Structure 1
Amino acid sequence: MPDSDNILSLFHKLRTRFPAFTADSTGEKRIYLNSGAGSLMVDSSLQAISASGFLNPMPGEIHPPEKQTAQYHKQVRQLVADFIGASQPDEISFHFSTTNALFNLAFSLRSIFKPGKNCLVTDLDHFANITPWETIASAQGAEIRRARLSPDLSLDRVDLMNKIDENTVLVALTGASNALGTILPLTDLISEIKIKSQALVVVDAVHLAPHSPIDIREMGCDFLALSGYKIFGPMLGILFSRQEAKDRVFPYRVETNKSLPPFCWEQGMLPNLNLAGLKGALEYLLDIGRAVSPKDSSGNNRKIFRLAIEAIKKFEQNLSLYFLERLKKTNSPRIKLYGIDNPARIAGRTPTFALEIAGLSPTETKRLFWEKSRIIIADGNHYSAVVMRHLKKEALNRVSLAHYDGPDTIDAFFEALEKIIFY
């Protein structure tokens, strides 16, 4: 297990590895509390991008530059496979974005969507894991079903299971809500789904990946998507496709593309710069794993990744507890938090908080935080418009933390909040 004292002592050291933590590209000071929209990039990711010019445009097997590029691509796939616990690197493909990956996946599964069949999505999901399935189901004449939210703004598990039957071909789930931070018990849910049906299960793990360990083999899903720019690297979509499902997918591809995974998924040239940046970001997480528990980090990369993310999870749970404590002390009837607010359930959320300040629009609140305190927060529906409809809201503010935050950034937020409430 990770040494929690170690991760606490490493906190300030880790923060220094993010050049944009305290200042933007113009050198202007700021506090960034919008990691749910995109994490800051770690120095090793930026450095890897700068050094990636040596790579050949295409991989190959003859001259050194193309052989080196082929090896580099394999290394990145292997790192991602180790990060999520995939059995083999060929189960990992790269895409323009995660949304693009999920649309590619939906199209590739078009043959299973037929009249009389149905697909199940959830009201908790980001639209990137709703719209592709709605689109392909509508085009193919299949039924689209929705699992609703529970009163505590988690997923209504009973409703989910009641809507699965022998004609359900696919269930799309989120790992964690992009708007509320709610984490789903994926392993238990997927196990129950697989007992009841033969449906494929697709997981959007974009918001979960930087906050909680992912183990594909333990989870049991068939497909899983995540993003490089949420795990401290560049903008790049990543898709895991279980090897056993390869005979059911027919992706877009040009005739000259190889027909087997992962190459059948990847249209055109891979973005070497972004792959290099992703490699640098994942190597940073390995650095954390080795640092928090040196005596346990002599094993394979999978084990070291797990040590790193477990340590981050523990640290961020403490941040979430502190955030809830500060929110309670504010004691203002004008502030409302949506989502899990019970400290006893802190393991069921990421450090992502959806807030509303009575009397101010989310856009005005965002503007005041910036103008008064140089703090960046988010406003909008956070691509979770179904959640907003459930709440009868058009938009909310969102404060989203990462492991490079700390009590000081939370204190700064609440000091700014008090200025706004009492201005």
Structure 2
Amino acid sequence: MFDLQNIRKQFPILSRKINGKDLVYLDNAATSHKPLHVLDSWQKYYTEINANVHRGIHTLSQIATEEMEHSRRKVQKFINAKNDFEVIFTKGTTEGLNLIAYSLNNLVKADDEIIISHLEHHSNIVPWQMLCERTGAKLKVIPMDENGVLQLDFLDKNLSEKTKIVSVNQVSNALGIINPIEEIISKTRANSNAITVVDGAQSVPHQKIDVQKMGCDFFVFSGHKMYAPMGTGILYGKEEILRKINPFHGGGEMIATCTFEKTTYADLPFKFEAGTPNVGGNISLGAAIDFMENIGLENIKTHENVLLNYAQKKLLEIDGLKIYGEKAMRTGVVSFNLEGVGISSDVGMILDKMGIAVRTGHHCTQPIMSFFNIAGTVRASFAVYNTLEEIDILADGVRKAQRMLS
């Protein structure tokens, strides 16, 4: 049974007052709050274990190693990876995408092509631009229409033997639009030998992920958007590709042998995990998966869709309010502006005075904002602990901001 009040009790921060008001936290696309189960896991590591992994024969090191590797296996199951060694621990989505872009350097040459979409976060734009600068490859962009829907006929016309990488997010962080990833991957497979990369930062918190069904070569996401600590993330890669490419970082842990003449690399996954990992964070990522699975991923998805539909209904009752991507299939996000209010941050500051936390600005998606000829939007984003009553408070707050700013 889905018990929202019991879920909320697991998040101590939700009882905070902000400017004398009950906190209404609607900035979950930036980061989600952490439940007691995750906080307890983090504290337990540092108070009862606190040892480095893989390198020690003493008891605490062995416990730390087993706990972190158990978390890796939880991630494997969570995203349905074929093997646990295809799961690489990272600091987050951004590091995962940079790792891929640098590791694929030797597979890309001048005049090759890399395809991304108009809906990408800067983290799925800049690493590919940097790869193009290093190799002489060309960057191409799948266009979108006025509803934020990607125009996939672009792929039919532009995929070729020159296409080496196709990298697209599964859900837009700025608009919440759900992209047809399986169709994109299918088109890519049919028309090229390109490597497919999926940015799952905004999809993993809201829906079940199956990388084998999806058919992607790489899938990356962050822990802190799915109730885990900051500084945690995952790179999934197919075994055959991970074995072909070179590591991004060099140092301890990722070597098999090291001499001044030559170094050989460790086996997967350690080849890509140089240095001391975020052991406590990685263990707590497993605790966050436990939290989500105990509630039920379908229950989370259903609840958040109710929130999204209700928020859209309530906000569109406000004269002069525009929702971007309104007619597209979306999850987790309502991104909007008020007519006659030129600066979205003004709305955000007024909402903050009422205890309402939203995100304003370009959301690290300046190309999207340029497409709509705006500087930014007000973005309300949802998590499993949000309520319909909080949506009502948001709508009332937006009305107040509209009166004040007009």
Q: TM-score, normalised by structure 1?
A: 0.88
Give, in whole Å, the separation in 2 of the partners of 1:362 and 1:419. Answer: 14
Moved over 6 A (4+): 24-28
Give, in whole Å, the separation in 1 of the partners of 2:170 and 2:331. Answer: 11
My pick for the range that moved more, 171-180 or 275-284, is 275-284
Deviation at 1:374, TM superposition (A): 1.3
Q: Could you say which residue in structure 2 is the equivalent of 1:194?
A: 189
Opposite residue 391 of structure 1, the aligned amino acid is F
Query: 1:338 aligned to 300, 324, 342, which one?
Result: 324
Give, in whole Å, the separation in 2 of the partners of 1:52 and 1:376. Answer: 31
Q: Does the Cα contact within 8 Å between 1:148 and 1:160 map onto a contact in 2? A: no
Aligned length: 389
Deviation at 1:27, TM superposition (A): 9.4
Opposite residue 30 of structure 2, the aligned amino acid is A
Q: Does the Cα contact within 8 Å between 2:21 and 2:355 map onto a contact in 1? A: no
Determine helix, strand or coil for the equivalent of 1:238: strand
Q: Does the Cα contact within 8 Å between 1:227 and 1:238 map onto a contact in 2? A: yes
Opposite residue 358 of structure 2, the aligned amino acid is I
Q: Does the Cα contact within 8 Å between 1:109 and 1:249 map onto a contact in 2? A: yes
Query: 2:350 aligned to 368, 371, 374, which one?
Result: 368
Query: 1:401 aligned to 382, 385, 397, which one?
Result: 382
Q: Does the Cα contact within 8 Å between 1:86 and 1:217 map onto a contact in 2? A: yes
- Structure 2 residue 236 is matched with structure 1 residue 248: no
Give, in whole Å, the separation in 1 of the partners of 2:39 and 2:68. Answer: 18
Opposite residue 15 of structure 2, the aligned amino acid is T
Q: Could you say which residue in structure 1 is the equivalent of 2:297?
A: 309
Query: 1:268 aligned to 263, 275, 285, which one?
Result: 275
Distance 1:91 1:407, change over 3 A: same
Opposite residue 416 of structure 1, the aligned amino acid is G
Q: Does the Cα contact within 8 Å between 2:197 and 2:219 map onto a contact in 1? A: yes
Determine helix, strand or coil for the equivalent of 2:393: helix
Q: Does the Cα contact within 8 Å between 2:144 and 2:151 map onto a contact in 1? A: yes
Deviations 1:233-269 (A, max 9, x none): 1111211111121233111343652322211111210
Q: Does the Cα contact within 8 Å between 1:169 and 1:200 map onto a contact in 2? A: yes
Q: Does the Cα contact within 8 Å between 1:118 and 1:142 map onto a contact in 2? A: yes
Distance 1:161 1:385, change over 3 A: farther
Determine helix, strand or coil for the equivalent of 1:318: helix
- Structure 2 residue 368 is matched with structure 1 residue 390: no
Determine helix, strand or coil for the equivalent of 2:370: helix
Determine helix, strand or coil for the equivalent of 2:248: coil
Describe how 1:15-414 pairs up with structure 2 within 5 A: 15-23=8-16, 29-53=22-46, 54-60=49-55, 62-235=57-230, 236-254=232-250, 257-258=254-255, 259=265, 260-288=267-295, 308-330=296-318, 332=319, 334-341=320-327, 348-360=329-341, 361-371=343-353, 373-414=354-395
Give, in whole Å, the separation in 1 of the partners of 2:403 and 2:213. Answer: 49
Give, in whole Å, the separation in 1 of the partners of 2:103 and 2:20. Answer: 45
Opposite residue 155 of structure 1, the aligned amino acid is L
Deviation at 1:193, TM superposition (A): 1.2
Structure 1's unaligned 5+ residue stretches are: 1-5, 289-307
Determine helix, strand or coil for the equivalent of 2:293: helix
Opposite residue 420 of structure 1, the aligned amino acid is A
Structure 2's unaligned 5+ residue stretches are: 256-264
Structure with the bigger percentage of helix: 1
Q: Does the Cα contact within 8 Å between 2:251 and 2:274 map onto a contact in 1? A: no
Opposite residue 270 of structure 1, the aligned amino acid is P
Q: Does the Cα contact within 8 Å between 1:223 and 1:239 map onto a contact in 2? A: yes
Q: Does the Cα contact within 8 Å between 1:252 and 1:264 map onto a contact in 2? A: no
Give, in whole Å, the separation in 2 of the partners of 1:362 and 1:22. Answer: 27
